């Protein structure tokens, strides 16, 4: 039985041995948050980085923006992890409120 190690490495890791693949179909469900999509590992890393209270405010702001803004329609139904940049509008808005 000859196993192609290069192929096995690509299966376990991302394309060309990058970051490990995550199952993008597993999302967390948060109370009062309908449209924000995050995986459990992304949610955990955001709590570690920003703390629960600030993250909760940011999630509510992002959810309201996704519901009300015409520009936000292209982000509905997609993973929203990229919105949580430390220098982004979302966290600045959460810090102000």
38-97 pLDDT per residue, tens = 999 999 999 999 999 999 999 999 999 999 999 999 999 899 999 999 899 999 999 998
Q: What pLDDT was estimated at residue 30? A: 86
The token pair that represents 75 in the structure block: 């982000």
For residue 14, the SS3 value is: coil
Tell me which of 14 and 90 has the higher pLDDT.
90
- Residues 6 or more apart whose Cβ sits within 8 Å of residue 77: 37
Q: How far apart are CA 17 and CA 7, in angstroms?
A: 10
Q: What pLDDT was estimated at residue 52? A: 94
Number of helical H runs and strand E runs in the chain: 4, 0
Q: What pLDDT was estimated at residue 65? A: 95
């Amino acid at each position: 039985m000859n196993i192609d190690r290069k192929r096995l490495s690509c299966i376990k890791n991302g394309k060309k041995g990058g970051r490990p693949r995550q199952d993008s179909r597993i999302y967390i469900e948060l109370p009062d948050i309908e449209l924000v999509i995050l995986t459990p590992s992304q949610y955990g890393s955001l709590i570690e980085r920003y703390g629960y209270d600030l993250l909760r405010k940011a999630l509510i702001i992002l959810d309201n923006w996704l519901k009300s803004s015409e520009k936000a329609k292209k982000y509905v139904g997609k993973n929203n992890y990229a919105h949580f940049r430390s220098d982004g509008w979302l966290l600045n808005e959460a810090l102000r409120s």
